[in-house]
Amino acid sequence: MGPAFEPAARMRRYRIGAGQGFYGDSPGAALDMARHGEVSAIAFDALSELTLAILQKDRQRDPSLGYTRDLGAWMKRLLPIALDRRIALITNAGGLNPEGAAEVVRKAADGRPLRVATVHGDNLTERLGTLAVPLDHAVTGAAFGEVSDRVVFAAAYLGAGPLVEALSRGADVVVTGRVADSALFLAPLVHALGWAWDDWDRLAAGTVVGHLLECSGQACGGNFSGDWASVPEPWHLGYPLAEVSEDGVVVIGKPPGSGGRVTAETVSEQLLYEVQDPTRYVCPDVCVDFTDVGLRDLGDNRVEVEGTRGAARPELLKVVIGYSDGWMGEGRVGYCWPHALKKARRAEEILRHRLEMVGCKPRDILVEFQGYDSLQPPRSEPDEVYLRVAVRTETRAEAEAMTREMPYLALNGPPGLGGYGGVTPPRELLGIWPTLVPREIVERDVHVEVT
Amino acid sequence: MTRPLAELARARSGDKGDIVDISLFAADEPTYELLRAHVTAQRVRAHFADRVRGEVTRWELPRLRALKFVLQGALDGGASRSLRSDNLGKCFGPALLRMEIEV
């Protein structure tokens, strides 16, 4: 090869893979990534807004919990491969108790030496009162006093900084709580490729990598709205990986031999997914501008991403506060042709009378006819339909009172009832209160421990 | 004549808090121009009048031949407090594809 190729050959490149898209995901694709992805790091996104509420409830029952409970099982299978191949594992599975999660990781290593880092300071649940900032709602501007007596958890979205520190201190596994999902992926790129913290275009490119990888299979044909029926072998869908060069050029792919499809079409759907302002997607380390991002099919399940631009990071960090917002009771029963919908409506009427008779007064009641109008506005009448009733109540007992009236329909209502699935146990509903807090107030308590 | 968006475009939707966002993709330039002309924020607002309380904003991403719609107050307060079957708003994208536009 001529000298023209030399600079490219010297250009540092880094490969990173996605291992998990949510708490409850299955570990097969992560193992596949470790074995066949030829990656130097795998990042795992286990947290959603709802997940933190689940973890907080675990922790209230048992203070040693508060992390995702499948972490040990995942690590037991992943660590032998990752440690042999020197693949860094980066996960936010620490939830509200990163130290407890780190202990689980150490146990899962089965005596093999490893360095586990934990990131602390995102969990503001106990410190909200000491922050001395207004905590107004970031979207509506409402005053925090509306919900301040019902707080379940509070967490700040940290950036990649502490994760980069963990990696540079030699961590094999980095366990965090709430950090921006994309920061899990951006951190190893910054660490390995030496990007500066004010190199906004590259930080933006790395953030786009995170955005494309954080929902696991969704970049590779999962939930694909195009020709979904022809997505190859979706029963072992490959999770996405990215090859990133020092200058910020990104190619998305997936492990060889896995199912799924990586094309400009499948990647474009994930690129814009849950982005509310494509000109300014605010993350802790950079604001990303998607306006001129282009995708190019390279063939063989590879797509190049170019044109990402970045602007200076925000001075305010997002904090999400979860607050208790009542209880949900839910019941469901099916009716068949003829007049399926009429029967279900009659059943609804019976149920509403019964609720009145027992003095159950929900704050809200939602009636849906599944198979007819529950997922989209209705069009044509179906031959069978499920009546679903969901109520929002102040207390668990009221939610239970509603569900106790569902069985009444079994022998006393319209004919042609089937698929009586009973009722689901009442569950607590959670309001989400997003707010913004000056970065320095959050960051003064952020620290990294490596053991 | 009119055609449903389902014959002209792809759509994926997602959620954040009480907001639903929908990405609408055209396969080619002429179709993208049709979408730009006809699928306005006002029409999308009207299309979802039964379940969206707030404003609808539209963004254009010509390199991706995509329109992005951001629907405020669309999710019964948000996924973790919503009573709906579609508490994550995943079905808003397909629902948008029912819209008929002039072609």
Instruction: Give percent of chain A above pLDDT 70.
Output: 97
CB pair distance less than 8 Å for B23 and A293:
no
Backbone angles phi, psi at A443, to 5 degrees: -70, -20
Structural element, H or E, at residue A441: helix A439-443
Q: What is the tens place of the pLDDT at every residue in B3-18? A: 999 999 999 999 999 9
Domain-embedded: residue B38: yes
Backbone angles phi, psi at A28, to 5 degrees: -55, -45
Question: What ipTM was estimated for this complex?
Answer: 0.96
Q: How many domains does chain B have?
A: 1
Return the residue in A146, A147, A274, A303 with the most chain B beta carbons within 10 A, the one to mutate for interface testing: A274
- Reduce the DSSP state of residue B88 to 3 states and report it: coil
Please state the three-class secondary structure of A242-268 as a single string.
Answer: EEEECCCCEEEECCCCCECCCCHHHHH
| Cα–Cα distance, A188 to A177 (Å, whole number) | 17
- β pairing state of A303-306 and A364-370: unpaired
For residue A377, the chain B residues in CB contact (below 8 A) are 50, 95
For residue A269, the chain B residues in CB contact (below 8 A) are 10, 12, 23, 25
> What residue ranges define each of the domains in chain A, with the CATH number in brackets?
3-122+157-314 (no CATH), 324-430 (3.30.70)
| Cα–Cα distance, A412 to A421 (Å, whole number) | 17
pLDDT band at A135 (very low <50, low <70, confident <90, very high): very high
B2-41 residues touching A, CB cutoff 8 A: 10-12, 14-19, 21, 23, 25
| Cα–Cα distance, A125 to A52 (Å, whole number) | 11
Domain-embedded: residue B37: yes
As beta bridge partners, residue B100 has: B4
Backbone angles phi, psi at A203, to 5 degrees: -60, -35
Q: What is the tens place of the pLDDT at every residue in A379-429? A: 899 999 999 999 999 999 999 999 999 999 999 999 999 877 667 899 999
A395-434 residues touching B, CB cutoff 8 A: 429-432, 434
- β pairing state of A241-245 and A250-253: antiparallel
For residue A278, the chain B residues in CB contact (below 8 A) are 59, 61, 68
In this complex, the residue of B15, B64, B85 whose CB is nearest that of residue A388 is B85
pLDDT band at A9 (very low <50, low <70, confident <90, very high): low
Q: What is the pLDDT of residue A1?
A: 39
Instruction: Give percent of chain A above pLDDT 90.
Output: 93
**A265 in contact with B at a CB cutoff of 8 Å?**
yes
Residue B24 sits in a domain whose CATH number is: 3.30.70
Let me know the angle formed at the C-alpha of A199 by A198 and A203, rounded to the nearest 5 degrees. Answer: 105
Domain region containing B60:
2-77+89-98
User: Taking the complete model, does pTM exceed 0.80, yes or no?
Assistant: yes
A55 CB contacts (<8 Å, ≥6 apart)? A65, A66, A67, A68, A95, A96, A97, A153
For residue B95, the chain A residues in CB contact (below 8 A) are 375-377
CB pair distance less than 8 Å for A366 and B84:
yes
Which chain A residue has its CA at the smallest distance from B14's CA?
A274
A286-345 residues touching B, CB cutoff 8 A: 290-295, 307, 322, 325-326, 328, 330
**Maximum CA pair distance of chain B?**
42
CA distances A167 to A87, A180, A373, Å, are 11, 17, 50
Angle between helices A183-193 and A200-213 (to 10 degrees): 130
DSSP A12: -
**B91 in contact with A at a CB cutoff of 8 Å?**
yes
Residue A25's closest CA among A82, A65, A83, A73?
A: A73
Q: What is the tens place of the pLDDT at every residue in A216-256? A: 999 999 999 999 999 999 999 999 999 999 999 999 999 99
For residue B32, the chain A residues in CB contact (below 8 A) are none
CB pair distance less than 8 Å for A272 and B68:
yes
Domain-embedded: residue B34: yes
Domain-embedded: residue B103: no
pLDDT higher than 70, residue A4: no
Domain-embedded: residue B50: yes
In this complex, the residue of A50, A139, A368 whose CB is nearest that of residue B85 is A368
| Class of residue B49 by CB neighbours under 10 A (exposed 0-12, middle 13-18, buried 19+) | exposed
CB pair distance less than 8 Å for A432 and B21:
no
Q: Which residue has the tokens 């198979």?
A: A371
Backbone angles phi, psi at A368, to 5 degrees: -125, 150
Mean pLDDT of B88-94: 96
Q: What is the pLDDT of residue A5?
A: 47
In DSSP notation, A307-351 reads --EEEPPPSEEEEEEEEEEEEEEEEEEEEESSSHHHHHHHHHHHH
pLDDT higher than 50, residue A59: yes
